[in-house]
Chains A and B, each alone.
Chain A
Amino acid sequence: MTTLAPVKPPDQERAFVPRILVFSTNNISDPGIDLAGSSHMTYSPGVVVISMPCTSGIRPSWILHAIEGGFDGVFIASDGDECAYLSDCSTRASRIVAQAQALLQQGGHQPQRLKMAAICSVCAEPFTRHVQQFGQALAELGRSAVAS
């Protein structure tokens, strides 16, 4: 069982729980993420999910909006090659990530605040591991420039 313990940076008193917005998909990654819950695994309560039909429908501007609004990171739980809609979904998703990272950089944010991994419909353990590792990486990166 994986846990994400709040990481306390040495120079700060309050425990820093990175806020992560996950873009998931209704048919592929949602079932995997739900399975983590029904298997009573655990990850940080700083992780919240918005579900879409398909990874290729995510607007890069939403990712910038999330970071500017105060999320420390955005994780795209993508369909990968399993997408039932688009055979080139992975290629499209990579393009969206590249565009979003460019937007982040233009806005003065580290591109590492965006991460993507394919999460399948039974990928409960990989999902918890990914968000835990991403949370740790974000904790090391420090708070987002805009987070209070």
Chain B
Amino acid sequence: MTGRERRIGVYVCHCGGNISDHVDIDQVVAAAQAETGVVVARQMMFACSDSGQGDMERDIKEQHLDGLVVASCSPKLHVVTFRGVAKRAGLNPYEYTQVNVREQASWIHSDDEQSTTDKAISLVKAGIARTRLSEPLEPLVVETTQKTLVVGGGVAGLRAAIGLADIGLGVFLVERAAELGGWVGRFDEMYPTGKNGRALIASLITEVRRRPAISVFTGAELVSKSGSFGNYRVGIRIGGSTPETLSVEVGSIIVATGFETYQPEVGEFGYGIEGVVTLPEFKEAIDHSSGPLMYHGTPVRNVVYVYCVGSRQSADTPAANAYCSRYCCAATVAASVQLASRDAQVHQYHLYRDMRTYGKFELMYTESRKLGSVYLKFADDAPPAVARDDSGRLVVTVRDLLTGGEELAIAADLVVLVTGMIPRKNEELVSVLKLPLGTDGFFNEIHPKLRPVETVVDGVYIAGTCQGPRNSSESVASGLAAVTQSAVILKKGFAELDPLVAVVDADACTACGLCLDACPYGAIEMTLGEGKSVAIISETGCKGCGGCVPVCPDNAIDLRGYTDAQISAMIDSLLEVPVA
């Protein structure tokens, strides 16, 4: 596997002792120096510091380096930093390899310096082996359309549309229902600000109408998507008496399609018995009344809330919702405060598993208790029972863990089943957008903390409750995050993509077509090459997962940066140093 003669620089970082306290850096540098193709090997106190970066840049220029290996911390931290070093010094950034000798060596094996040093040497050798076979690559540059499609006209979608228009992007806002507004548009007082949901939505709609850059389609659905990142062509079907399909070009798509609420089975915690309602039904009842709450003509004196209905279900429940719906505790506490503040005589009993009134909602929980709400904790395996007794009274029986397992029978005028959010059934949208769903059935982001609104489909962002249960202000925050991400890729007018995509060796390809089925993104096509059919992978359509690589019976596909030659060479290098 000898390619061109290489001129590689290797930099081993002390990380101010984090690495050098447990790894003999001199040995690592000496081992790197002895490797074929290495012309410079140095140690640095902090490779990421200005002076460290400056030294590398100077070496790259003076020694005409064509490869760079930095042995320091996790690539999650400084890949961008060191790609920048390479680029500034005129070295192709894809000729650089990061080797993690901190999280995966010094910190994990701090009890034995020699074996830690040996492992660090192995890792550095593998990094050099990979770099010897690296190729200069250019990022894929695509021009972008300065428009965004927003799917869903609830609070997140409306706020996102306004944000997009205000940074100068065109917006198509598509709402399946006849009216904009979503769930928030049905609510009266909402926690934690006490703002009126209907009024909030009305003001957002006014703002939307005021912006000519936003085109609104109600009673409409996204039905097709083609093209790739930065330049999608989407089909919008507009219903009505004469349905028509409109085709528009957009650079990015924000999906904010919201949630559905959990609908209990008849008999589940007494659902179906008169007087047993879900949280949304209860919220609607208090929003559409004033003074003491009436139910079927009688005043409601005792309310019992049963929490976690349809949430945190045990695995043996059919189609269990294992997740915590996270907004329902706060929403219920808020509703109980709303009710208590207009009817001081009402008795409210909250039967819960764990209260999750996170952050400032804890204050609301305290207020609810001050206003007289009683909280009773039941065990996961001993849920409350809801039934009508012989005299026809609605009674909830529960064992309260906080009073030593005392069994309580609470007579109720109204039982509220605190139901959570479930993913909206949207199979057509899922198949049009090719968006992955998480284990809970909601749309999946790339990383919940580091890339919270991006999906694996470049230029398609998710916001609001289609991504998982959350409250309205959290939904708006994610909607605005998706606006910012759209700006990042669209405002420059072009975007750069990592070129670490799969490529087909046309000579080896036998056009069997197995890779076409292996790519859920439709990035592979069979085309007529020089005298024969060959598979071709679209650089912009490929997500770089490599899923087609092992599927090819002719080993004709390689993933750039992870080629067969590179991985094989790394495996060999990792074995060169014996383990003590």
Asked if B456 lies at the interface with its beta carbon under 8 angstroms from chain A, I say yes
Encoded as 1 (CB less than 8 Å from any B CB) or 0, chain A from 51 to 71 comes to 111101111111001100111
Asked if A45 lies at the interface with its beta carbon under 8 angstroms from chain B, I say yes
Given that A84-B436, A84-B446 are contacting pairs, would A57 and B546 also be in contact in the complex, using a CB cutoff of 8 Å?
yes
Asked if B375 lies at the interface with its beta carbon under 8 angstroms from chain A, I say no
Asked if A38 lies at the interface with its beta carbon under 8 angstroms from chain B, I say yes
Tell me whether A17 and B108 are in contact (CB under 8 A).
no
Tell me whether B107 and A56 are in contact (CB under 8 A).
no
Provide a sorted-by-A list of 27 A–B residue pairs whose CB atoms are within 8 angstroms: A19-B575, A30-B74, A37-B104, A40-B107, A43-B108, A45-B109, A45-B119, A45-B580, A50-B570, A53-B559, A53-B562, A54-B547, A56-B545, A57-B549, A59-B549, A61-B564, A62-B567, A62-B571, A69-B571, A70-B575, A71-B575, A82-B444, A84-B436, A85-B543, A87-B437, A87-B520, A89-B547
Q: Which stretch, B110-118, B323-331, B410-418, touches the partner chain A?
A: B110-118
What number of B residues sit within 8 Å (CB to CB) of A?
52
A74's nearest neighbour on chain B, judged by CB, is B571
Tell me whether B547 and A48 are in contact (CB under 8 A).
no
Tell me whether B119 and A54 are in contact (CB under 8 A).
no
Tell me whether B546 and A42 are in contact (CB under 8 A).
no
In the bound complex, what is the Cα–Cα distance between A62 and B109 (angstroms)?
26
A37's nearest neighbour on chain B, judged by CB, is B103
Encoded as 1 (CB less than 8 Å from any B CB) or 0, chain A from 21 to 53 comes to 100001100110111111011111110111111
On chain B, the residues within 8 Å of A34 by CB distance are: 74, 76, 100, 103-104
B456's nearest neighbour on chain A, judged by CB, is A84
Asked if A81 lies at the interface with its beta carbon under 8 angstroms from chain B, I say yes
In the bound complex, what is the Cα–Cα distance between A100 and B75 (angstroms)?
28
B interface list, Cβ under 8 A from A: 74-76, 100, 102-105, 107-112, 115-116, 118-119, 122-123, 126, 436-439, 444, 446-447, 455-456, 500, 520, 543-547, 549-550, 555, 559, 562, 564, 567-568, 570-572, 574-575, 579-580
Encoded as 1 (CB less than 8 Å from any B CB) or 0, chain A from 72 to 101 comes to 000000000111111101001000100100
Given that A17-B580, A36-B108, A60-B550 are contacting pairs, would A27 and B446 also be in contact in the complex, using a CB cutoff of 8 Å?
yes
On chain A, the residues within 8 Å of B579 by CB distance are: 17, 19, 45-46
Tell me whether A49 and B116 are in contact (CB under 8 A).
no
On chain A, the residues within 8 Å of B571 by CB distance are: 21, 50, 62, 65-66, 69, 71
**Residue of B444, B549, B579 ringed by the most chain A CB atoms within 10 A:** B579
Asked if A121 lies at the interface with its beta carbon under 8 angstroms from chain B, I say yes
On chain A, the residues within 8 Å of B102 by CB distance are: 37
B578's nearest neighbour on chain A, judged by CB, is A148
In the bound complex, what is the Cα–Cα distance between A51 and B126 (angstroms)?
12
Tell me whether B547 and A92 are in contact (CB under 8 A).
yes
On chain B, the residues within 8 Å of A92 by CB distance are: 547
In the bound complex, what is the Cα–Cα distance between A48 and B104 (angstroms)?
8
Tell me whether B123 and A48 are in contact (CB under 8 A).
yes
Tell me whether A58 and B109 are in contact (CB under 8 A).
no
In the bound complex, what is the Cα–Cα distance between A8 and B108 (angstroms)?
22
Tell me whether B545 and A54 are in contact (CB under 8 A).
yes
On chain B, the residues within 8 Å of A50 by CB distance are: 126, 567, 570-571, 574
On chain B, the residues within 8 Å of A81 by CB distance are: 439
Given that A17-B579, A34-B74 are contacting pairs, would A42 and B549 also be in contact in the complex, using a CB cutoff of 8 Å?
no
Contact partner of B545 (CB less than 8 A), chosen from A43, A45, A51, A85, is A85
In the bound complex, what is the Cα–Cα distance between A62 and B356 (angstroms)?
47
On chain B, the residues within 8 Å of A27 by CB distance are: 446-447
In the bound complex, what is the Cα–Cα distance between A40 and B106 (angstroms)?
9
B445's nearest neighbour on chain A, judged by CB, is A84
In the bound complex, what is the Cα–Cα distance between A15 and B579 (angstroms)?
10
On chain A, the residues within 8 Å of B118 by CB distance are: 45
Tell me whether A59 and B550 are in contact (CB under 8 A).
yes
In the bound complex, what is the Cα–Cα distance between A43 and B111 (angstroms)?
10
Tell me whether B568 and A65 are in contact (CB under 8 A).
yes
Tell me whether B575 and A69 are in contact (CB under 8 A).
yes
Shortest Cβ-Cβ A-B pairs, 9 listed:
A57-B546, A37-B103, A85-B545, A34-B103, A37-B107, A45-B115, A54-B545, A56-B547, A84-B456
Q: Distance in Å from the Cβ of A8 to the closest Cβ of chain B?
A: 13
In the bound complex, what is the Cα–Cα distance between A38 and B102 (angstroms)?
8
In the bound complex, what is the Cα–Cα distance between A117 and B562 (angstroms)?
22
Tell me whether B110 and A42 are in contact (CB under 8 A).
yes
Contact partner of A57 (CB less than 8 A), chosen from B438, B447, B547, is B547
Tell me whether B104 and A49 are in contact (CB under 8 A).
yes
**Residue of A42, A54, A99, A121 ringed by the most chain B CB atoms within 10 A:** A54
With A45-B118, A61-B564 known, 17 other A-B pairs at CB within 8 A are A19-B579, A30-B74, A33-B104, A35-B103, A37-B102, A40-B108, A42-B111, A43-B109, A50-B126, A51-B75, A56-B547, A57-B547, A57-B559, A62-B571, A69-B575, A71-B571, A82-B438
On chain B, the residues within 8 Å of A40 by CB distance are: 107-108, 110
